[in-house]
């Protein structure tokens, strides 16, 4: 099987792709669909056989719960077994958007979605495709990232095709993902919100919205380390190349650190945003803007390109430790080994 890729760049193509995806979802089939964070591998969340197909295509362990995707607040509340005040506040502030709320599980949600646990993670994406499919088929969709288990998440239809192209029948091309890293996952079942996976909606914004304050977009406050999602492994989101974050004073300092690591510069992909190496010593140098939103949007594409080029090492200029960067720093830490 080779996946068909459906474009969505005109209203007619978008509508046709929605109809096709909705039909597959209604028949228990799966398809890779665009969202603003990363592409998701979607299926009917209420059908254990469809969710099983998602797990099988990814090669994913059943101990990791999947996120339920909706296209309205109403469907989110109906899928939950209670809607805490914190959920109400965070949904009002950030939905639709790159935020997953972990709430008490509703009665109709199968064990394979929650990994048998008492909670369910729910997200309403702001990219219009998945909400349109949900409305067309009337079903919430289970959708983990559309990559093979333990590999890099896809931020383009091409990334999906290269990992899953011979395992699924349909990939909907919604363009490059606008956010670029996976959603912030927040447990709202207790008295305080607990960040299980940091993302581009950062801790200070969550704190302000949870307290009922007006949300400020960015802040210089200090990050308090997040707790971990139960299913998250320490190494995850990893490229094939070895990845290491480094801080360098200048290029001589960088070359010395690289030599100490045993890195061969001619097989090394550098990712910098501030102190940009200029010599011809490095095989590839990517410059990503010194801005968290732009950086997140570009990061996975650079890591995919490094892997495709056959890089042995990826050396990444270490990032600031402020809340706006926390989601990106988390992904880089998971990708290094």
- Please report, as ranges, the residues that interact with Mg ion according to CB under 5 A: 145
Q: What does the DSSP assignment read for 8-51? A: -SSHHHHHHHHHHHHHHHHTT--EEE--SSS-EEEEETT-HHHH
In the chain, count of helices (H) and strands (E)? Answer: 11, 14
Residues 9/31, Cβ–Cβ less than 8 Å = no
Q: Which residues pair with 284 in a beta bridge?
A: 269
Backbone φ/ψ region at 142: left (φ over 0), alpha (ψ -120 to 50), beta = beta
Residue 31 binds ligand TXA, judged by CB under 6 A: no
Q: 159 to 218, contacts with ligand TXA by CB under 6 A?
A: 182-183, 185, 196-197
Residues 102/90, Cβ–Cβ less than 8 Å = no
Residue of the chain from 25, 51, 75, 123 that contacts ligand TXA (CB under 6 A):
123
> In the bound complex, what is the minimum distance in angstroms from residue 150's beta carbon to Mg ion?
9
Which of ligand TXA, Mg ion, none does residue 149 bind to, with CB < 5 to 8 Å depending on kind? none
Closest CA to 236 of 117, 64, 68: 64
Judged by CB under 6 A, how many residues of this single chain contact ligand TXA? 28
Residue number with CB closer to Mg ion (26 or 149): 149
> In the bound complex, what is the minimum distance in angstroms from residue 143's beta carbon to Mg ion?
10
Q: 47 to 76, contacts with ligand TXA by CB under 6 A?
A: 64-67
Closest CA to 268 of 217, 325, 312: 312
Instruction: Report the residue number whose CB is nearest to Mg ion.
Output: 145
Which of ligand TXA, Mg ion, none does residue 229 bind to, with CB < 5 to 8 Å depending on kind? ligand TXA
Which residues contact ligand TXA (rule: CB under 6 A)?
35, 37-38, 40, 64-67, 100, 102, 114, 117, 119-121, 123, 143-145, 182-183, 185, 196-197, 229-232
């Amino acid at each position: 099987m080779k996946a068909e890729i459906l474009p969505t760049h005109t209203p007619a193509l978008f509508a046709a792709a929605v109809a096709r995806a909705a039909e597959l979802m209604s028949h228990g089939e799966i398809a890779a669909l665009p969202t603003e964070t990363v592409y998701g591998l979607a299926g009917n969340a209420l059908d254990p056989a469809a969710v099983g197909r998602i797990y099988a295509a990814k090669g994913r362990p059943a101990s990791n719960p999947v996120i339920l995707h909706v296209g309205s607040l109403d469907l989110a509340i109906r899928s939950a077994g209670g809607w805490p005040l914190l959920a109400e506040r965070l949904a009002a502030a950030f939905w639709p958007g790159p935020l997953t709320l972990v709430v008490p599980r509703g009665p109709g949600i199968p064990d394979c979605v929650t990994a048998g646990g008492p909670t369910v993670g729910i997200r309403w994406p702001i990219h219009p495709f998945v909400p349109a499919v949900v409305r067309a088929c009337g079903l919430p969709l289970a959708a983990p990232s559309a990559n093979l288990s333990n590999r890099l998440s896809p931020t383009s239809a091409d990334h999906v095709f290269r990992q899953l192209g011979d395992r699924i029948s349909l990939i909907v091309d919604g363009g490059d993902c606008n956010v670029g890293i996976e959603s912030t996952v927040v447990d709202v079942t207790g008295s305080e919100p607990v960040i299980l996976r940091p993302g581009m909606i950062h801790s200070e914004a969550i704190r302000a919205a949870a307290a009922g304050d007006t949300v400020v977009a960015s802040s210089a406050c200090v990050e308090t380390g997040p707790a971990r999602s139960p299913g998250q492994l320490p190494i995850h989101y990893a490229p094939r190349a070895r990845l290491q974050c480094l801080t360098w004073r200048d290029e001589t300092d960088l070359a010395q650190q690289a030599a100490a690591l045993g890195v061969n510069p001619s097989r090394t992909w550098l990712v910098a945003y501030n102190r940009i190496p200029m010599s011809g010593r490095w095989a590839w140098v990517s410059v990503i803007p010194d801005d968290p939103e732009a950086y997140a949007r570009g990061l996975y594409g650079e890591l995919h390109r490094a892997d495709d080029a056959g890089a042995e090492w990826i050396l990444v200029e270490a990032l600031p430790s402020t809340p706006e960067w926390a989601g990106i720093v988390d992904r880089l830490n998971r990708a290094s080994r």
